[in-house]
Structure 1
Amino acid sequence: MKNLSISLLFLFISSFANGQSIKKLDKITKDANEAKAAFLETDPHLQTLFESSHGYVIFPNIGKGGLGVGGATGNGVVWEKGQLVGYAKMTQLTLGFQAGGQGYSEVIFFQNKEAFDRFTSNKIEFGAEVSAVAIKPQASVGAKYLNGVLVFTQSKGGLMYEASLGGQKFSYTAK
């Protein structure tokens, strides 16, 4: 009887946790779709990249802060050839002159299957050699992929002063 009670309790807890994680993934997906609409509102030319890239990931809500040492984190949604295929987490660590906090969205386009596969196999990290383009009208016109990757960011608010070095690390989980 005791084992049955423990099993039922475990089933209840795991069902509740699974329901919570499904709600969280649904929220991240909704936020990613809203972030995509905001990117396109700012620069409608991005539609060409959304249609022509092999895949992309949208991090709708990245929080960043620092005072000397800084960090950022956010969850995202991954699409391949227009189909939702998984989820991602981004973490960032920076060192240098920095103070404040900000929120932003980030979209990363993958030019080809090789670049996409590097990302989904958790073999992609961004350092100083990859720079993000702050989105503004027509920012995507003439933008070039670097090693099969193209990154755009859009500020959501906050104030951050920064002259620092760091990098972003990603982890991917299939749907």
Structure 2
Amino acid sequence: MFIRHLSVALVAWFALVAASPASHAESGPEIDAGVHETMQRFFRQVGGARELAHKAVGILVFPSVVKAGFGIGGEYGEGALLIGGRTAGYYNTVSGSFGFQIGVQARSVIIAFMTPEALRQFRKTAGWKVGADASVAIITVGVGGSIDTNKITSPVVGFILDPKGLMYNLTLEGSKISRISR
């Protein structure tokens, strides 16, 4: 009985958080500062990251995506789309999950659009869903800790960073990314 009440309370809490992200949403300048810091950390920690950023036609950066769960989980984060190094719009990412999970985790997510068509498709879709609207290839760093940009063939590539660096074996599947106004 206790587990049932706890599950109902968690579902209600996640629904409340998902339904009212604007109540504790960051301002445009706060998001921009987080995006800048995340990109600088990415450049410092991963060889070839600057070259990749220069080749990408757009980069979507979520400085902090927080995932919390106890059986039922959810995650939320806000970020910005950079085109030519400038902010071209603000976005949020939301996803839910069910299964064995407990605790809270924060991570940064960087999604690079490598082709104009991939970026155009992302920008014209309201509520872009990873896996349904596009596949995001999660890139892992090889020996020497650097990215070989000549071997990247996917139109959309993603990186997941924690405070220590790149994270492995994670997915963005099921994440919904929507434009927000600031």
Q: TM-score, normalised by structure 2?
A: 0.69
Is 1:132 aligned with 2:138? yes
Kindly tell me the number of residue pairs found equivalent between the two proteins: 150
Greater Rg, structure 1 or structure 2?
Answer: 1
Quick one: distance in 2 between partners of 1:66 and 1:140?
32
Quick one: distance in 1 between partners of 2:173 and 2:99?
9
8 A Cα contact 2:111 2:158, kept in partner: yes
CA separation of 1:86 and 1:164: change in aligned 2, threshold 3 A:
closer
Structure 2: runs of 5+ lacking an equivalent? 1-24
Is 1:154 aligned with 2:155? no
**Aligned to 2:105, which of 99, 102, 105?**
102
Which residue does 1:78 correspond to in 2? 81
Question: How far does residue 132 in structure 1 lie from its aligned partner after superposition?
Answer: 3.0
Q: What secondary structure, in the 3-state scheme, does the structure 2 residue paired with 1:100 have? A: strand
Structure 1: runs of 5+ lacking an equivalent? 1-20
Which structure shows the bigger proportion of residues in strand conformation?
Answer: 1
Which residue does 1:18 correspond to in 2? none
**Aligned to 2:95, which of 88, 92, 100?**
92
Is 1:27 aligned with 2:35? no
Which residue does 2:119 correspond to in 1? 116
CA separation of 1:127 and 1:75: change in aligned 2, threshold 3 A:
same
Quick one: distance in 2 between partners of 1:116 and 1:39?
21
8 A Cα contact 1:43 1:140, kept in partner: yes
8 A Cα contact 2:58 2:81, kept in partner: yes
Deviations 1:61-101 (A, max 9, x none): 11111122211110001112333211111111122222211
Deviations 1:109-140 (A, max 9, x none): 00111111222223531139645346686352
Is 1:170 aligned with 2:177? yes
Q: TM-score, normalised by structure 1?
A: 0.72
Quick one: distance in 2 between partners of 1:164 and 1:97?
16
8 A Cα contact 1:51 1:82, kept in partner: no
Quick one: distance in 2 between partners of 1:127 and 1:47?
26
